[in-house]
Amino acid sequence: MTASQIQSSGPIESSTTSVQVDIDLPQIAVVGSQSVGKSSLIEAISGITLPRASGTCTSKGQLLGQARNEAFGPTIFDKSEVEHRIRRAQLAILNPNQPPRVVLESDDEEFEDSLTFSNNCVSLKISGPDVADLSFVDLPGMIASGGQPGDKELIESLITSYIKRPSTIVLLAVACETDFENQGAHSIAKLHDPEGKRTIGVLTKPDRIPTGEESSWLPYILGDREVLENNWYCVKQPSSNDLKKNMTWEEARQAEDVFFSTTAPWSELDSCYHRYLRTSNLVEQLSFVLSDLINKRLPQIQEELDKAILKAREALQGLPPPPSSNPFNEVVSMLHRFTDDLKHHVVSGVPQANGLLQAIRPALMKFRKGIKDTAPRFHPCEKKVSSTTTFVQPRFLDNEEGSSEADWTPVAGSGDGVIYVDQVLARAHDARARELPGHVPFVVRRTYIEEIVHQWRRPALELIQTIYALLARYIKDIVNAHFSEFGQGLLEQRVKTIVHNQINECLARAQARVDWLIEVETLPFTLNTHYLSDYKGKFLAFYKATREKHARGHISRHIEEYLNREKDEYSEREGEWGIEKVLQGLNEIGIRDASPEDVFKMLPIDEMEPAIEIMADVRAYFQVAYKRFADNVPQAVDYELVRGIERNILSVLYSRLGIDGPEGHRICKELAHENHHVAAKRRDLEKKLERLETAMAELLDVESTMATAGCQC
């Protein structure tokens, strides 16, 4: 089975060769089994000679349709050169590994690893004073067997893709030398056009009908068998001997006329059926049917053209702008826009949920919690009674921080994370050297603080690495947004490398700054004595109260009952509370503003008093130091890493790209070389838009001509 495409010879003919790939124009597809005389039929319609050497045309044909046109040799003005050019074009398609110019200029008829079939096609555009503009694609016929695996299915799929279109007129070619039922072309045509409304049948090779079987073909012409709306036709093309004698196109038409006028049973048909004989009548009917279909589809074609033109323009607008005539200024402008945008993101921030500063915030909160969780879990009771005591969060920390002390991580050296008062006292005794009894060396407090600060390094480094990863990924996207569509991507890659190195340098400075902050914190220091004293007083009272609650629980119970008293109960028992009497007595001797918890301070000195003092000092200092550190580290990381990447970035880019030197213009020119994929896409879109707009202009001319003709009628 063979399929060939013949375009309309109407007014929009001149641009259909190229625009057919963009919109679904009405067309004629010639369908027939292999060796039905397709080459002769096409020659009769087009007036050109096709290759006939064995293995060059139908056995190595190409598929219908095309994705793009690629010129193959210069324009031909001598009709006799067409056959050779087509043969070379077929070889080029079947040998995609060979450069087209090599195939065109070579005399070889075969190449190694040649394909049997290809998805590409040979497209011809013919114009001249004696012919209408047309285009056709010569394709292989269906093969029953032989060839490479998959060839038969490939050809069937190809033909089906065309004849299934409602806008395709099927020209069904059937050779009279073979039984009709043995030619599968009719089955495929009938499958996609069961009512025969867009199929035109053509009988070929009537001169090779076996003797006595002539009458079996007449019913097709008479409309008695396999009825088609546009009927069956019969044509006779030159025989092999005629071709060897170089019979001309005009001589072939004369010989055809003589054959049908003198050969039975064709010559014996009624005169009304002679219009179904001869190539000229077939071409006339094809032109009429195709022109009628085109006229009916003109509004739809115009709509498809409008949509295709709009889509092509949008695609062009979506491409990066073409290379500038002044690449230096363009590169400099891009770098300035990039650095301005970078500053906006890392310094000011963007009001978006996916902004950089918004992405960093959870890491900052996690860091702060990680530092706060290193608070020492001092317990004011001895370890031996720990199983009978419960450690309660200080109320003032609940109000201040809203978290549970149970979440705090242990200080190094304590198995369960709790440091008991007797352990603190033991460390104090072990540290005493020449100090007098009762004097605790400062080193005890300092070592506890050092152990706490030592734990701050991990969350600080985790914060730096988290922000580094977020920053690198975020800035990579900014670089991509500014430079991805510029040139061949060289500028984007170089900017990414420079920015990446700059981020690493900022990371090193941030790590050094954090290391410095940690070293600074290893020695206790603060001028915030007010808060330190306040926290110490609160923790000292809390620890003593907790001890007294277990040692002298009745006092703690009295204090708790007094604090939890109801107003009505207070009014009834006013003056009867023991704690109230104590506070009144203190007020009478001039000690005012005392709280119920201060009662514990008046109790006899506890043997654990030195340890309680150490615990209160360390815990109070932690409150001051951790808040300071939890602020200083994020500020340092922000300054050195986040905002550091923006600092001097423009001068760094200028210097490392080399555009601020004498070779700046040359470098920018190299950077501006357009990506060949983008350039090719732009060329394809521009060509597509050109042929669409040309087709639209011709279509409007057709409609104008038709309207004028209608008015004259």
Q: How far apart are CA 564 and CA 708, in angstroms?
A: 104
pLDDT, averaged across the chain? 82
Helices marked H in 109-178: 151-163
pLDDT in tens, 356-369: 999 999 999 999 99
Residue-level pLDDT at 470 = 98
Domains plus CATH for the chain?
A: 24-47+158-209+220-321 (3.40.50.300), 328-403+414-559+597-670 (1.20.120.1240)
Asked whether the predicted pLDDT for residue 291 surpasses 60, the reply is yes
Asked whether the predicted pLDDT for residue 407 surpasses 90, the reply is no
Contacts 24+ apart (CB under 8 A), 125-130: 125/17, 126/46, 126/47, 126/48, 127/14, 130/47
pLDDT in tens, 453-500: 999 999 999 999 999 999 999 999 999 999 988 888 899 999 999 999
Asked whether the predicted pLDDT for residue 412 surpasses 60, the reply is no
pLDDT in tens, 59-81: 433 333 333 456 667 777 777 77
Residue-level pLDDT at 341 = 97
pLDDT in tens, 619-652: 999 999 999 999 999 999 999 999 999 999 999 9
The residue with greater pLDDT, 139 or 247, is: 247
Residue-level pLDDT at 472 = 97
pTM (predicted TM-score): 0.58
Q: Which of 71-85, 176-190, 228-242 is the most confident on average?
A: 228-242
The residue with greater pLDDT, 343 or 83, is: 343
Residue-level pLDDT at 142 = 64
Residue 374 burial (CB < 10 Å; 0-12/13-18/19+)? buried
Residue-level pLDDT at 344 = 96
Confidence band for 421, pLDDT divided at 50, 70 and 90? very high
The whole-number average pLDDT for the span 384-388 is 70
Question: Could you tell me which residues are beta bridge partners of residue 634?
Answer: none
Check if the beta carbon of residue 25 is closer than 8 Å to that of residue 135: no
The whole-number average pLDDT for the span 177-198 is 88
* Category of 379 on φ-ψ map: left (φ > 0), alpha (ψ -120 to 50) or beta: beta
Asked whether the predicted pLDDT for residue 334 surpasses 90, the reply is yes
Q: Cis check for the bond before 206: say yes or no (omega within 30 of 0).
A: no
pLDDT in tens, 660-679: 999 999 999 999 888 778 88
Residue-level pLDDT at 424 = 94
Confidence band for 58, pLDDT divided at 50, 70 and 90? very low
The residue with greater pLDDT, 292 or 401, is: 292
Q: Which residues contact 358 (CB under 8 A, 6 or more apart)?
A: 349, 352
Residue-level pLDDT at 572 = 52
pLDDT in tens, 92-143: 777 777 777 777 777 666 666 667 666 566 666 666 666 544 445 455 666 6
Check if the beta carbon of residue 354 is closer than 8 Å to that of residue 702: no
Residue 395 burial (CB < 10 Å; 0-12/13-18/19+)? exposed
Q: How far apart are CA 605 and CA 41, in angstroms?
A: 123
* Strand bridging mode 232-234 / 199-204: parallel
The whole-number average pLDDT for the span 147-176 is 82
Task: Locate the DSSP E strands across 380-464.
Answer: 418-420
Other Cβ atoms within 10 Å of 536 Cβ, number: 20
